[in-house]
Amino acid sequence: MFEVKTDVQFVDKNSIVRKVWGNADTVLFIFAGAAAEFALNKAVDWLYYTGKLPADPIGRLFSTVTYSHLIIFSDLDKANESIDKITSIHTAVEHNRNASIPDWAYRDVLYMLIHYSIASFELLQRKLSEQEKEEVFNVFYRVGDRMHLKALPQNYSQWKKSYAEHLQNDLEKSKFTVDLFKQYKKHLGSFRYGILIEAQKLLVTNRVRKLLGFHKFSLMNFIIPLYKLSRIFKLDKFVKSIILPAEYKAQIQALDVA
């Protein structure tokens, strides 16, 4: 008997989530915002435990974004396999450390992906409707549910309240924060690091901005309109070739989904 395969997608092909994550520019801004907030997370010591984060902070954070992109553009079975693989990797780290990663730490990562998906798309494209924001929430809720996370908010409205509590309770500026930003600068170089910081200023919440000592003003307020203009004249690839690390160019180009 032949196995019948269905074409059920993890995310509907017409979903706003695919539009958000199908544009490499938007995904890069999601990465930038998450890099700032992640450095403040009280559970960041878990990735320092393996030594992989400080050794390659850009690669480690980019892998999280890449996994999310893969899940969003996969069929249901493949997406679930990817989520299960993430769970398995974390379980192995817990076993080696003989301790459990707290549930709130997993939720925090999901919350970052929700917030920066919305914030990045609205910064570069347009405002999202409440229904579209609910769609973004729902996709990452399903990821968390597949990971068997507890106490997940059930809708976008509940998530906003939970995220606000997370920002107050789960973030702090620590020695890991300071070191991680040093590593960002080391691996990106001063010029690209400066671009990262300016992008983060526009994306992060007031709580994150305060903890990191960011000013509200960002040079990106002037750069983004010029970059949008470069896209009209098909010069954006040239611009990105200048500002992006060479080792990630192919991966970043692959994030663009027609």
For 193-213, the pLDDT digits (tens) are: 999 999 999 999 999 999 999
Compute how many other C-beta atoms are within 10 angstroms of the C-beta atom of residue 247.
10
**What are the phi and psi torsion angles at 100 (to 5°)?**
-105, 135
| Domain membership flag for residue 194 | yes
Distance CA 23, CA 258 (A): 9
DSSP run (H or E) holding 19: helix 16-21
Distance CA 118, CA 200 (A): 14
Portion of the chain with pLDDT greater than 70, in percent: 86
Segment 73-94 shows an average pLDDT of 89
| Domain membership flag for residue 2 | no
Q: Give the chain's largest Cα–Cα span.
A: 64
Segment 73-79 shows an average pLDDT of 94
Distance CA 196, CA 46 (A): 24
For residue 202, give both structure tokens.
């526009």
Looking at residue 7, its pLDDT comes to 75
Whole-Å CA distances, 19 to 117, 118, 197, 223, 250:
10, 11, 25, 23, 20
Which of 125-129, 186-190, 250-254 has the lowest average pLDDT? 250-254
Looking at residue 231, its pLDDT comes to 67
| Helix residue spans in 98-233 (DSSP H) | 103-124, 130-146, 156-169, 175-188, 190-203, 206-212, 220-232
| Domain membership flag for residue 217 | yes
Q: What confidence category does residue 252 fall into, taking pLDDT thresholds of 50, 70 and 90?
A: confident
Looking at residue 229, its pLDDT comes to 74
Q: Would you say residue 75 has pLDDT above 50?
A: yes
**255 neighbors 69 (Cβ within 8 angstroms):** yes
**58 neighbors 188 (Cβ within 8 angstroms):** yes
Share the mean pLDDT of the chain: 86
Domain that holds residue 249: 16-253
| Domain membership flag for residue 59 | yes
Q: Which residue has the higher pLDDT, 128 or 95?
A: 128
Looking at residue 228, its pLDDT comes to 74
| Domain membership flag for residue 199 | yes
Structure pTM? 0.88
Looking at residue 243, its pLDDT comes to 60
For the chain, how many structural domains are there in total?
1
Looking at residue 209, its pLDDT comes to 96
| Domain membership flag for residue 7 | no
| Domain membership flag for residue 6 | no
Cβ partners under 8 Å of residue 258, min gap 6: 22
pLDDT in tens, 8-41: 999 999 999 999 999 888 988 998 999 999 999 9
Q: Which residue has the higher pLDDT, 160 or 247?
A: 160
| Domain membership flag for residue 11 | no
Distance, first Cα to last Cα, the chain:
36
Dihedral angle sign, alpha carbons of residues 67, 70, 14, 20: positive
